[in-house]
Amino acid sequence: MTPTLVSRKALAAWVLLGFASIQLQAQQDPSYTHFTYNKLLYNPAYAGASDNFCLNAINHQQWLGYRDESPLIGTQGNGFPATGETVRGVNPRTTGVGFSAPIRLKIKDEKVNVGGAYASFISDQLGYESSTFFRGGIAGAYALPDGSSIRVGFELTSLTKQLDGSKLRYHDPNDPNIPTGLTGDTKINFGTGVYYMNPNVMDGVWGGISMTNLLPTEFEYSTGGSNVVKMATTQNLYVSGGLKMEQFLGNPSLRLEPAFLLKSAMGENGGFIKPELDLQGMVTYNDLYAAGLNLRSYIAGMDALSIMIGYYPPIPGNAAGQQQTLRVGYSYDITLSRINRASYGTHELQVNYCFNFTLPDRPPKIYRHPRWMVRDPLKD
């Protein structure tokens, strides 16, 4: 069988999979609707860009209601539904947490943001395959004369992929090419990115370009016999940008933040294929409430329209220029592709908490020399 390109839109190729001795190539990275508030999930150069210490958490439940209704004979495992029985919970599900911190150095009696560092954990379930990402990265910043800055980031990723072969439905019993149980593999990979920000254009503009899975890597799923199923990762490209517009519609209480994210994956014969474009617009009222839309499309057509809301709980210091910011966001994706026949939408919940603190300056040290050991009794 020739190599096959599989994306999330081809989820049925997983839940109905009848393995031969094959090699698959797939877009590995999860998808998020709140990409504007979780830039580190796809661009390591953003680490430290907010000049705050930030904790992020996100949960993405895609295509709820999607189920496996395979007409094939049965499964290699015991006690798992076979012919004619529906298997639920095969829709993509992603959970991620991360922490980022700025790196500051004292230059000419002033503390300057020279970069940042971050670490994250992502668990992604797609059909009967799971992917676990442990990522850590570092970024360096360079200030430009016009007040803007450009950041370059690098990340190291440990990716573990597992496949529960006992749940795959077979056509021929005891097929030696189908894994008989849980099998997996772990590989190390790399990513890199560039991020630009300029607070002096409009009310702030930003843009970035990044790539994950820089090294083509093969994961091997053992079938319990002499055969293996190979899964090859591919490079994922991200191009993003956005801006802020204060006093939207002439109202000082409103702020408009349009943004876009272009995603693509490297094809097996070279070149990027299947680009996906997200266009997003969020309006914030008094730095307290937010609402907006996100439209996701492919070259072949529309994928989803997302309704997004956000809330900034009024905790102490939760204001621009203050010490901490808490944001809770939710989105509901209305599926526009034919998958809407088997799904009733996608839910995503995200939380960002950013805070700031500075270490006090070290007190000056007083050195005494025996030749000048004159003490003032009123001070010593």
| pLDDT given for residue 29 in this prediction | 84
Token couple for 184? 């997996």
Residues with Cβ within 8 Å of 60's Cβ and at least 6 positions away in sequence, in order, are: 30, 31, 32, 33, 92, 93, 94, 95, 346, 347, 348
Q: Where are the domains of the chain?
A: 4-196+210-233+326-372
Please provide the distance, in angstroms rounded to a whole number, between the alpha carbons at the two ends of the chain: 87
User: What's the pLDDT band for 248 if we cut at 50, 70, 90?
Assistant: very high
Give percent above pLDDT 70 in the chain. Answer: 76
Task: Tell me which of 36 and 166 has the higher pLDDT.
Answer: 36
| pLDDT given for residue 356 in this prediction | 83
Query: Mapping DSSP to helix (H, G, I), strand (E, B) and coil, where does residue 250 land?
Result: helix
Query: Mapping DSSP to helix (H, G, I), strand (E, B) and coil, where does residue 84 land?
Result: coil
| pLDDT given for residue 18 in this prediction | 41
Task: Tell me which of 324 and 232 has the higher pLDDT.
Answer: 232
| pLDDT given for residue 360 in this prediction | 61
Is the pLDDT reported for residue 84 higher than 80? no
| pLDDT given for residue 376 in this prediction | 57
User: What's the pLDDT band for 371 if we cut at 50, 70, 90?
Assistant: low
| pLDDT given for residue 350 in this prediction | 95
